[in-house]
Amino acid sequence: MSFRIRSGPASLVLALAMGGALGACGSFPYRLDIQQGNVVTQEQVSQLERGMDKRKVQFVLGTPLVVDAFHQDRWDYIYSFQEGGGSRVQRRLSVFFEDGALVRVDGDVEPAEGMPDESGREGVVVSVPDQEPDGIFGRLGSIFGGD
């Protein structure tokens, strides 16, 4: 049995259609939402009071994401969220202790009344460039009219 490859306009159209179909499959991948860090709500921050010990603060906010070995009296709660290929939003909250008691809250969340705050900053938006197509199908998709 022998196969014969035809050349001509019909085979060219067929090859371009198949390449376009393969490119369409790879140009619209599902992108996951990426959530990292500690979710700290305004309600949780409103429960903080000056003079609370570390154990009570940890009960209210959860375990801090970052505890610096050189600055044991500062805990950092960092949260970032990136919706499926969109820009990343990052929030930060730092709590400061003196002699084991809470003295100050700093970050993107409003502290409770009577709790000093020195920042007043808003959330930081970080732009992440689009990812290059991976693998043979991603490259074929970009060559044959994919994204």
| pLDDT exceeds cutoff 90 at 3 | no
Reported confidence tier of residue 74, pLDDT bands at 50, 70, 90: very high
What are the residue boundaries of the structural domains of the chain, listed by start? 9-29+132-143, 34-126
Give the E-state strand segments of the chain in sequence order. 34-37, 66-67, 74-82, 88-98, 101-107, 124-126
CATH topology of domain 34-126: Beta-lactamase Inhibitory Protein; Chain:B, domain 1 (3.30.1450)
Q: What is the pTM of this model?
A: 0.54
What are the tens digits of pLDDT across the range 12-23?
777 777 776 666
Measured CA to CA, the distance from residue 39 to residue 92 in angstroms comes to 10
Average pLDDT score over residue span 51-56? 92
pLDDT in tens, 79-101: 888 888 788 888 888 999 999 99
